Amino acid sequence: MKTTVLYSGLALILAGIPVSSAMAGMYRWVDDQGNVVYSQQPPPDSRNVREIAPPPPPAEKAENNSQSLQELQKKLDAAAQERHKAAEEKQKAKAEQEQRKKRCQAARRDLKALHERPPNTLYNMPDGKWKRLTPEERAKRIKTLKEAIETNCKK
């Protein structure tokens, strides 16, 4: 029992040593060569010494720091998700712009073909069949292509 008390007391004393050395002040002085010296020990002779106070303890407890770190991590994760989402939206917008450009080029090509070819020309339809357009079908197709150009050829 006495040994337990002795070891407990010794453990408390040893645990207090780092704290007491950390709490010790810092000293600043100029040595014989003119160098500024910082030390936890005062100079060996009586020089002009200035004692420097240790830094103040942290303002927040470790628990608050942990919470702050978690909150900061959440904010960083949210910002990363927003950046990822913005990059995806930018990619989608770029892909949509490319599709509009292709539709614009196709509509201009088809409209040019309708104007340059004679009215009785055979046209390959989307279903793979060949067909001559009636004047009404041709006018409707020209109108549709002009609307497609207006929609897709905007800058």
Neighbours of 133 (CB within 10 A): 19
The pLDDT of residue 88 is above 90: yes
* Phi, psi (rounded to 5 degrees) for 55: -65, 150
Alpha-carbon dihedral angle through residues 9, 10, 15, 16, given to the nearest 10 degrees: 70
Average pLDDT score over residue span 104-126: 87
In this prediction, residue 51 carries a pLDDT of 77
For the chain, the average pLDDT equals 80
What value does the mean pLDDT take over residues 29-34?
82
- Arithmetic mean of pLDDT, 77-104: 94
Q: Is the pLDDT of residue 31 over 70?
A: yes
Of residues 10 and 96, the one with the higher pLDDT is 96
Ranges of each domain in the chain:
26-52+62-152
Kindly indicate the confidence band of residue 19, based on its pLDDT and cuts at 50, 70 and 90.
very low
Using one digit for the tens of pLDDT, what is the confidence trace for 33-45? 888 888 888 777 7
pLDDT of 58: 67
With 50 as the cut, is the pLDDT of residue 49 above it?
Answer: yes
Would you say 86 and 94 are in contact if contact means Cβ atoms under 8 Å apart?
no
Sheet containing 26-30: order of strands:
36-39, 26-30, 50-52
- 10 Å Cβ neighbour count for 107? 20
Residue 90 pLDDT grade (very low, low, confident, very high; cuts 50, 70, 90): very high
